[in-house]
Structure 1
Amino acid sequence: MYRPAYPNPRLHPPTPLQFLTIHRWVYVPDKIQTDALVIAIHSCQSSAQKYFANSKIPWHQGSDRKGYITVWPSSTTECWDVSSKASLSHDGGGDSNAIANMIKHALTQYNIDPQKVYVTGGSSGAMMSNVLAATYPDLITAVSLYSGVPAGCFVSSSGGSAQWNNTCSAGQSTATPQKWGDVVRAMYPGYNGTRPRMQIWHGSVDGTLSPRNYDETIKQWTNVLGASTAPVSSRPDTPEKNYRMDDFGASVEGIWAVGVGHSVPSHLDASEAWFGL
């Protein structure tokens, strides 16, 4: 963990990514052009600083280009807690609660429009993106997640946090759309408000989180958002060759990356378009 007294030179002013707490960094572009906020959540064995510096994660470049603020949470463990009851419950504590509080703070600190809060992440960060969409749908407008699993798929039978789940990672945790949707609804019982629009990316040869998790995640969110599991339209070679973009109505979009492994590169333009940035 970097300490504020010894900042990473890339993150030191004039680069306006500044240390706020041990869990969060924020990047404020030189020229703010919109009252939107993007939360960028790192993968396992990473950090906010490493994710920010990763050339495959160009969100700070988008921030410079379009003038939106980005917040970069940093986990204190190897992976995000997407398995404990605390993190899988609205206001239950855990990592999801911590990130939700970051969002709430940013709304007032930077005068963010509550209807323009977007979440993205890869691998463990994608899992947390799904968990946040389930536990704090009232705070999030849209999600663009890369190489994840359904919300609640990594649930721990022992109640532990940040635990690896071999059954889920291998694509052996399968259920009907209704059951996957019920998993989401149980994370915030009684919530009947608007839920985030979901954009889901996965590589066809992912050796870390089975490609089958793509299908299960599509099942989950089409059920939650009242869409069919069959796409209403499909665009080959979109947003690039060997990718296929499937639309399941206005609220769910899936991108299947043929021949791509676990690290599907962030496609800034396509994710920003989904967010409306």
Structure 2
Amino acid sequence: MHFQSLATALALCSTTLAAQLTQVSNYGGSAKAKPGMWVYQPDSVKSDALVVAIHSCQSSAQKYFANSKIPWKQGSDRKGYVSVWPSSTTECWDVSSKSTLTHDGGGDSNAIANMIKYAITQYKIDPKKVFVTGGSSGAMMSNVMAATYPDLITAVSLYSGVPAGCFVSSSGASAAWNNTCSGGSSTATGQKWGDVVRAMYPGYNGTRPKIQFWHGSADTTLSPNNYKETLKQWTNVFGVSETPTSSKPDTPEKNYRTDDFGPDVEGIWAQGVGHSVPSHLDASEAWFGL
């Protein structure tokens, strides 16, 4: 009985000490938007990197974290990096209003930037190792974060999104759906798409985060045309050609094609895949240098 009691006590202790997704009630900053901030600090922190995992529509930090198809908890456990899980207060992320499409504009992007700043200080993160990922609405926000806070982010890996600024709302609504963009009819030259990014942080001339973007050819929610428009946008921002410098068929798996456009832009086209492309932890971590 004594040994059974000891075993039970040890088991309870182990459960208590196990890493859990934990809410940060006050991450600071002056943004008007106040999405929730959740943090996962693995039991064994072995890295000074940070991964920000941004959920899709009709989800939350807790749901995204618990989703077996979202691998970033496993990545945190395996490689020992802290991950931040923002949680929207609306059905989808605000990637539409001027406040979120402007550096320090007070919208959702501003709030997530404040979470990053908090995490850098609180968890002793190397500011040169801040990585952002997300799917669908979270992918859209990942692109917006790359445009509005290039000074905070090192690299982005986004799954099934749209170009930064594509979902802009003419009415100024904070989380508006844009049928023109989702349907693939928002097309422009690379120069114009690049100007959209540059206008989100006027005067910024520093380093831009590396961009890796994934899209499925059979996506009926966010048209596959958005892959090409995203490609135009970021190749223009980086001043590189829209013609790949290398193309690898069946990479990272069969029916996927990985195209590199110099060292800072990478597109993965998933033939026959719908919305949204499943997260590929190894390929995203490799892009981040983790």
Name the residue aligned to 2:250.
237
For structure 1, the residue ranges without an aligned partner over 5 or more in a row are 1-10
Q: 1:76 aligns to what?
A: 89
Deviations 1:209-251 (A, max 9, x none): 0000000001000100111111111000000000000000000
Counterpart CA distance in 2 for 1:105 and 1:15 is 19
Structure 1 ranges of 4+ moved more than 4 A: none
Contact kept? 2:18, 2:43, Cα under 8 Å:
no
Whether the 8 Å contact between 2:40 and 2:73 is mirrored in structure 1 is yes
| Shift of residue 14, structure 1, vs aligned partner | 2.4
Secondary structure at the counterpart of residue 228 of structure 2: helix
Aligned match for 1:17, one of 15, 21, 45 = 21
1:116 aligns with 2:129: yes
The answer for the alignment partner of 1:178 in structure 2 is 191
Which runs of 5 or more residues in structure 2 are unaligned? 1-14, 26-34
CA distance in 2, matches of 1:184, 1:19: 31
Match of 1:107 in 2: 120
1:54 corresponds to which residue? 67
SS at match of 1:254: strand
Distance in 1, matches of 2:207 and 2:16, equals 38
Q: Residue type matched to 1:15 in 2?
A: A
2:143 corresponds in structure 1 to: 130
1:148 equivalent to 2:152? Answer: no
Secondary structure, in 3 states, of the residue corresponding to 1:24? Answer: strand
Q: How far 1:13 moved relative to its partner?
A: 5.7
What is the deviation of 1:20? 1.2
Aligned position for 2:32: none
* Matches of 1:154 and 1:62, distance apart in 2: 30
SS for the counterpart of 1:164 is coil
Aligned to 1:98: 111
Shift of 1:12: 7.9
TM norm structure 1: 0.95
Contact 1:48 1:74 in 2 (8 A): yes
Partners of 1:269 and 1:100 in 2: how far apart?
25
Matched position secondary structure for 1:128: helix
Are the equivalent residues in 1 in contact too, given 2:260–2:266 (CA < 8 A)? yes
- The CA deviation at 1:55 is 1.3
Q: Which amino acid aligns with 2:240?
A: A
Question: Which residues in structure 2 correspond to 1:216-255 (within 5 Å)?
Answer: 216-255=229-268
Q: What are the Cα deviations for residues 160-215 of structure 1, in whole angstroms up to 9, with x where unaligned?
A: 11100000000000000000000000000000000000000000000000000000
TM-align CA RMSD = 1.1
Question: Aligned AA for 2:162?
Answer: V
**Taking structure 2 as the reference length, what is the TM-score of the superposition?**
0.91
Work out the percentage of aligned pairs sharing the same amino acid.
80
User: What one-letter code is carried by the residue in structure 2 that aligns with 1:23?
Assistant: G
Measured after TM superposition, the shift of residue 19 of structure 1 is 1.4
Contact map agreement 2:55 2:134 (CA 8 A) in 1: yes
Q: 1:171 to 1:40 in 2, by over 3 A?
A: same
Q: Distance in 2 between matches of 1:37 and 1:15?
A: 16
What SS class does the counterpart of residue 150 from structure 2 fall into? coil
CA contact (8 A) 1:12 1:18 kept: no
Structure 1 residues 52, 174: closer, same or farther in 2, change over 3 A? same
Name the aligned partner's letter for residue 16 of structure 1.
Answer: Q
Match in the other structure for 1:201: 214
SS class of match (2:111): helix
Matched AA of 2:47: T
* Structure with bigger gyration radius: 2
Task: Give the aligned length.
Answer: 267
Q: Hey, what's the Cα distance between the residues in 2 that align with 1:27 and 1:255?
A: 28
The letter of the residue matching 2:19 is: T
